[in-house]
Homo-oligomer: A and B are copies of this chain.
Amino acid sequence: MTNEATMVETFIDRFKLEDLLKRRFFFDQSFAIYGGVSGLYDYGPMGCALKANMIQAWRTHFVLEEGMLEVECTSLTPEYVLKASGHVDRFIDWMVKDKQTGACFRADHLVKNQAETLIRDRKTDEKTKSELMNVLVMLDGMSCDDLHEVIKKFDFKSPLTGGDLSEPVSFNLMFPTEIGPTCDQRAFLRPETAQGIFINFKRLLEFNQGRLPFAAAQVGSGFRNEISPRQGLIRVREFTMCEIEHFVDPTDKRHPKFEKIAHLELTLFPACNQMEPKNPQKISIGNAVKLGIVNNETLGYYMARTHLFLLSVGISPDKLRFRQHLSNEMAHYAQDCWDAECFTSYGWIECVGNADRACYDLHQHQKASGVKLVAEKKLGAPKQIEVVEAVPNKQLLGKEFKSDSKQILAALDDLTEAQIEALEREVKSNGKYRLSLREGKTFELNSSMVEVKRFEKTVHVEEVTPSVIEPSFGIGRILYAVLEHSFRQREGDEKRCYLELPPLIAPIKCSILPISSNERLDPIIFAVRDQLTSREISSKIDDSSGSIGRRYARTDEIGIPFGITVDFESELQPWTVTLRNAPTMQQIRVSVSEIGEVVGHLVKGKMNWETAMAKYPIFNAK
């Protein structure tokens, strides 16, 4: 949601950036030779390496650092799973159609664009403007009726023909398909990776030896059939997500490592500030949790860790904020939700969602699958409880129902207390009970087959359905925001664009440029390359014929942070080369025997450029 009050005044020449990204094949529209498909993008070698580095950084920052359990689940998902999760019924956007041409538009996007245009229009009176501002604030959570109301009230029209628009109709954003040859198993491509983790909760808890809290993570594809995607990498139909599901005792959402990050200052934009409207505020996450602005420590912990991650991959701190969901846009079960938003030339863009989803997902899948999705929690003191049990006569059931008896036993074991009491009443009054299995089969049991027993039991544990805190990262959006935030033009020579990417994620860390193609330089080039390769620092030799300045410009464009030049001075014993820092274009002279270590330290952030400048002689190109 764009918010005029908090708009950062930065100008990005998006067309220049996009030209660079396309020309150097960071990414491009998929199936471009066929005219392309909107909302689908292919990553070329540079984009692919950048993305892989970003995912690797994410894994190190979250999965390794926090000892998370990583899983990999399928994209194909049967309909019943997404029915249980609520996606079949509620994962929709509202769409309006041009009544003349049938062209489809996402209703909220249409309202946003036309409202913003009207607000900017001098002829619009102040009252209307203020009403429209209010529409923009509330837009993310609007219902079908709300949207229809707004479209009628302000007389919004089709942006293509100026003609009338239909009433909003719902459109499910999941891609449908079918599994198997008989077309009887309806399925969808997953709209998020989270459900795969919930489905595997039992195994993961087991893997964690039954202990709470623990976090599971997944990196994978998500698919959303956007109605009319337009904003480049921001709104796509197939994307990579990195999701974490942190399972925690619902009555104790403290986090053991919260103290470590409590001092961190984040820019928060709470719901109340958005409503008033008031600006976002800077506040330490410790205080935000203490004051109840952020619901709990675990949620706050992940917000702080998200903040640190985003800065480490190149998001500008002044273009990052955490916006709280308004009550109308938050799911009914969610406790609290904060989107990490990055400012780009498209406005403020949600890049990471941090949500406390309570126990909704596990509850839903437990209900639908009939499998208990709970953890055992040790009680402070043992407790006496009364237990009601349906005790089967196994022998008799086996004789009567043969191979079905195993299912019957499992079903009896799964009965709730209320169901057992119903069984007791039935058997008492009619002498029989009709047991329904999940698969739809039913069996008639009589009083000799099952007996209801009551007894006292000492329990040391109780079952709880864990709450889930979910940080969910859209990698493509973060990547695009990082590209915008790292885009630079050389002062006084605006045609020379370059990317100031953090070495951590730069596709290639270091270029090696021989000053001439003279073979005499080859042994030095190979020695330099070996120094880098043995430290696993990716490098690129550019021995093409362009001038050294032109070749530097080309490596700057693709965000290579460091460059080594081998010149004829290099041949003097001991061999030396120049090392260049791309953003400042400053150069130092370093011996070949040290170059691998120096670049290694610079790339890993163990040394900064200023220290290197102080330690080694400065080189001034002629």
Contacts and interface: CB of A to CB of B under 8 A. Distances in A.
Interface string A188-223: 010000001001101110110100000000000101
A180 B93 CA distance: 12
A360 interface: no
A75 interface: yes
Nearest to A220: B221
Interface stretch (A34-42, A270-278, A307-315, A496-504): A34-42
Nearest to A368: B34
A35 to B, nearest CB: 8
A30 B81 CA distance: 11
Nearest to A538: B64
Given A37-B78, A104-B181, A71 B95 contact: no
A246 interface: no
A175 B188 CA distance: 10
A250 interface: no
A45 interface: yes
A185 interface: yes
B74 A182 contact: no
Contacts of A373: 33
Interface string A47-73: 111011000000000001000011111
B369 A34 contact: yes
B171 A225 contact: no
Contacts of A70: 45, 48-49, 52
A416 interface: no
A82 to B, nearest CB: 11
B369 A81 contact: no
A104 B182 contact: yes
A544 to B, nearest CB: 7
Contact of A203 (B25, B48, B74, B199): B25
A73 B236 CA distance: 13
Contacts of A52: 70
Question: Which of A179, A223, A544 counts the most B-chain CB atoms under 10 A from its CB?
Answer: A179
A283 interface: no
A418 interface: no
B31 A203 contact: no
Contacts of A178: 175-176, 225
Contacts of A572: none
A76 interface: yes
B73 A42 contact: yes
A102 interface: yes
A43 interface: yes
26 contacts: A24-B207, A30-B74, A31-B77, A33-B371, A34-B80, A34-B369, A41-B74, A42-B73, A42-B74, A42-B196, A43-B73, A44-B69, A45-B204, A48-B71, A49-B70, A51-B72, A52-B70, A74-B238, A75-B238, A76-B223, A95-B181, A104-B182, A175-B178, A176-B178, A177-B177, A180-B227
Interface of A: 24-25, 28, 30-34, 37, 39-45, 47-49, 51-52, 64, 69-78, 80-81, 95, 102, 104, 171, 175-182, 185, 189, 196, 199-200, 202-204, 206-207, 209, 221, 223, 225, 227-228, 237-238, 365, 368-369, 371, 373, 538, 544
